[in-house]
Amino acid sequence: MTATAPTPELAPRVRRGAIAQSVMDSLVVARRNLIRMIRIPEMVIFGLIQPIMFVVLFTYVFGGSIKVGATISPQAYREFLMAGIFAQTVTFATAGAGAGIADDMHKGLIDRFRSLPMARGAVLTGRTIADLVQTTLTLVVLAGVALIVGWRTHENIGKVLLGFLLLLLLGYAFSWIGALIGLIVRTPEAATSGGLIWLFPLTFISNAFVDANQMPTFLRHIAEWNPFSATVQACRELFGNLPPGFVTPDAWPMRHPILASVLWSVVILLVFRTLAVRKYRSATA
C-alpha cells in the first residue's frame, strides 16, 4: 500500500486593517494615474503653459504700473505677485481633477473599480494624490521660471519650504472640490467649465494680484476673509516678499495668515472629502 504524503498546511492569509487596506488601494490608484500622466505628457505640459503665461504677462505688462504697499517698483511687484501666481496655479488644478474623475465615470472605469474588493474612497483619494504629485512638479518648474524673471526670497530655506507646503495643502484641499464636481456633472467638458468658472472670482477678489488695501471697502472685506488670500499672505511673509510700506490689514486671517491658511485648508479638505466620498458611494451603489 502506497503511503500518501501529508498535505502541507497553507499559510494563513494576511488580513490588513481597514485603514491600511484603504491606504494601499489609494496608492495603487495613484500609481495608475501617474503612469497615465507619464504616457500622456501633454497633460503636464499644457498644465504648465498657463501659469508661465501669467508670470510673464503680469511681470512685464503690469509690473511698474500697479502700486503695492508704498511703491510701484517693478521688482517689488514681481516679488509681491509670485505668491499669488503659485496659489492660483495649485487651485486651478481643481479643474483637471474634476475632468479626470468625470472622464473615468463617463468611460465606466469607476464601475470596474467598484467590482474589485477595494475601499470605496480609495478611487478618489488615489486620484487626488496623483494630482498632488503633478501640482508639486508644476510648482517646481514655475518657481524656476519665477527665478529667471527676477523673483527672489529673503527668508531662510525652512520658511520658504513651509510656504510651499501651505500651497500644496491648499491645492490638495481644492482637488477634493474638483472631485465632487467631477462626480456631479455628466461629461469631462462640463467638469472643466464647472471647475474654473468659480475660481476666477475667488482668485481675483483676493490679494493675489493687487494690494487688497486699495480695493473698495466691501471687496476688501471679502478679499481679507477669502481662504485663497490667507495662503497668499502667509507665503509672502514666509518668502519675505512683503513690499516696502505694506500695511497688514486688521482682519484676523491677515494678522495670522499661517494659522488661517492651515485652518481654511483643513476645513475645506474635511468638508469636501466627506461630500465627495458620499456622492461616490451613492453614484456607484
Local confidence pLDDT in tens for the 285 residues of the chain: 455 555 444 444 445 566 777 788 888 888 887 887 777 777 777 777 888 888 888 888 877 778 888 888 888 888 999 999 999 999 988 887 788 888 777 776 666 766 666 776 788 888 899 889 989 998 999 999 999 988 999 999 999 999 999 999 999 999 999 989 988 887 878 887 877 888 889 999 999 998 998 899 999 999 999 999 999 999 999 999 999 889 899 999 999 999 999 999 999 999 999 999 888 887 655
Domain contains 2: no
Contacts of 188 (CB under 8 A, 6+ apart): 99, 100, 102, 103, 106
Domain contains 169: yes
Whole-angstrom distance, CA of residue 249 vs CA of residue 167: 21
The SS3 of residue 53 is: helix
Whole-angstrom distance, CA of residue 261 vs CA of residue 275: 21
The pLDDT of residue 282 is: 79
Burial of 47 (0-12, 13-18, 19+ CB in 10 A): buried
The pLDDT of residue 195 is: 76
**46 Cα distance to chain centroid:** 16
Domain contains 13: no
Cell of 195: 471647475
Domain contains 3: no
Burial of 141 (0-12, 13-18, 19+ CB in 10 A): middle
Domain that holds residue 239: 19-283
The pLDDT of residue 14 is: 44
Domain contains 7: no
Cα torsion 228, 230, 235, 237: sign: positive
Domain contains 109: yes
Cell numbers 496623483 correspond to 130
Whole-angstrom distance, CA of residue 41 vs CA of residue 184: 27
pLDDT digits (tens, 9 = 90+) for 166-210: 999 999 999 999 989 988 887 878 887 877 888 889 999 999 998
Domain contains 8: no
Domain contains 110: yes
The pLDDT of residue 111 is: 65
The predicted model scores a pTM of 0.86
Number of domains into which the chain is organized = 1
Other C-beta atoms within 10 Å of 41: how many? 9
Contacts of 82 (CB under 8 A, 6+ apart): 55, 146, 151, 239, 241
Q: Where are the alpha helices (DSSP H) in 72-156?
A: 74-107, 109-114, 122-149
Dihedral Cα 102, 191, 221, 232, nearest 10 deg: 70
The pLDDT of residue 57 is: 84
DSSP per-residue codes, 229-273: HHHHHHHHHHHT-PPTT----SSHHHHSHHHHHHHHHHHHHHHHH
